[in-house]
Amino acid sequence: MDKLLVKGGNHLTDTVKISGAKNACLPLIAATLLSGEASTITNVPELRDISTMLKIINSLGRKTEYSGNTIKVLEGEVTNLTASYELVSTMRASIVVLGPLVAKYGECKVSFPGGCVIGPRPIDLHMKGLRALGVDIKVEGGYLIAKARKLIGNKIYLGGHFGSSVLATVNTLMAATLAEGRTVIESAACEPEVVDVTNFLVKMGADIKGIGTPTLIVNGVEKLHGAKHDVIPDRIETGTYMIGAVITNGRLFLEGAKADHNLALIDILREAGAVIEEKPSGLDIYRRTEQVFAADITTHTYPGFPTDLQAQIMSLCCVSKGISCITEKIYPDRFIHISELNRMGADILLEGPTAIIKGKPTLSGAPVMASDLRASAALVLAGLVGDGETGDMNI
């Protein structure tokens, strides 16, 4: 899709089934490489990134079946240990095949992942974690070449300049499951997606303690087996719809959504004037006030406010009463959407890593350009409350 045309002025009122979490599903697929047995993953979202990851798995020699929302990775072994530039360069998350491949097969060659419009996203923590387990990694011709005669458990600190890393944590964790001895990962990412991957690894036969905490203790095993797993609901999709209900003064029931995965956002939305009711099958969200109130937000690693909802919450702040401040602690350059929101009549001033937003009663529709997925969602949300039509291009 190249263009979305959004007509403002409508309330979002419906029941929405939340999809499976992409950021859990991608490393889950990679984790199946740790065993030659068959595995099944359900509640898979229908996304291009999922198809890309399956192409990578297939290119390595593993056969897969993808039907509806279910993926089956069939029994078999990897026959090609090179993940090519043509595939890896299109999706940064594909670097998570590095840990499983070198752990099970002792070597692999994975293309250096591509860049990102939201700012630098180095892979130093990935290499740090794997090197601590005994992997020799060098970069040649744009590829990461990894070799290890044997993985040995170790104590590893994975804290980075902007906090912990989800993908570096799961890459190191997956490799550690087949390492000899005990591995202790400190400053591990605690996101629900990491917990989901960890639970899958345990189903495969891994011995992991401290699940959901910053300290993961892994006792290596000789081999893993296949398993079945249901992907958790996508908390970013959930949060985007929650903001959509509030910004349009509508009411949505989000089927399958989990409040525990979105506590930071729920806290802010309640202060802004929203009602969020937790039901056995999902979340009910609507506004209790006619006006939405300003908020001060700082992005952090989980359980803090997620950077992947920063752009969306900014759209809400644009039509809130008062002055809001949003400070980006994860990706300080992730503010490309500000200029486009200002084109729609927003009043946003950027001071270093902090956006200062003076709320207005409404926005105006305008032609806008989207830079990335979350910025696209933010512009759609802004268009829903804008006067006239908003053209959101380059989706």
Say how many CA atoms lie within 13 Å of 367 toward its Cβ.
1
Q: Sketch the domain layout of the chain as residue ranges.
A: 3-18+233-393, 22-230
Give the pLDDT score at 163.
80
DSSP for 211-253 reads: TTSSEEEEE--S-----EEEPPB-HHHHHHHHHHHHHTT-EEE
Give the pLDDT score at 91.
86
Strand 354-358: give its sheet, edge to edge.
296-298, 323-327, 354-358, 347-351
Other CB atoms within 10 Å distance of the CB of residue 395 = 13
End-to-end CA distance of the chain: 6
Mean pLDDT of all residues in 350-378: 92
Global pTM reads: 0.94
Mean pLDDT of all residues in 369-395: 84
Q: Comparing C-alpha atoms, which of 168, 186, 178, 184 is closest to residue 129?
A: 168
- CATH 3.65.10.10 correct for 3-18+233-393: yes
How far, in Å, CA of 124 to CA of 300, rounded?
A: 20
Residue 48: partners with Cβ closer than 8 Å, 6 or more residues away: none
The model's confidence at residue 388, banded by pLDDT at 50, 70 and 90, is confident
Q: Comparing C-alpha atoms, which of 29, 25, 27, 39 is closest to residue 224?
A: 39
Mean pLDDT of the residues in the chain: 94
SS3 176: helix
Same fold: 3-18+233-393 with 22-230 = yes
C-beta separation of 329 from 299 below 8 A: yes
The model's confidence at residue 320, banded by pLDDT at 50, 70 and 90, is very high
Here the tokens at position 192 are 């629900």
- CATH 3.65.10.10 correct for 22-230: yes
The model's confidence at residue 233, banded by pLDDT at 50, 70 and 90, is very high
How far, in Å, CA of 87 to CA of 30, rounded?
A: 14
Higher pLDDT, 369 or 175: 175
The model's confidence at residue 117, banded by pLDDT at 50, 70 and 90, is low
Q: Parallel, antiparallel, or unpaired for β 323-327 and 296-298?
A: parallel
How far, in Å, CA of 146 to CA of 280, rounded?
A: 46
How far, in Å, CA of 82 to CA of 31, rounded?
A: 16
Residue 175: partners with Cβ closer than 8 Å, 6 or more residues away: 99, 100, 102, 103, 129, 130, 133, 135, 151
SS3 131: helix
DSSP designation for 90 = T
Residue 12 has pLDDT above 80, yes or no: yes
Mean pLDDT of all residues in 313-320: 98
Q: Is 190 a catalytic residue?
A: no
Residue 340: partners with Cβ closer than 8 Å, 6 or more residues away: 368, 369, 370, 375, 379
Of 126-135, 246-255, 351-360, 370-379, least confident by mean pLDDT is 370-379
Please name every residue paired with 186 in a beta bridge, in sequence order, or none if there are none: 157, 215
Query: Catalytic one among 25, 108, 116, 190?
Result: 116
Q: Is 376 exposed, middle or buried (0-12, 13-18, 19+ CB in 10 A)?
A: buried
Give the pLDDT score at 116.
53
Give the pLDDT score at 332.
86
Here the tokens at position 59 are 């290119």
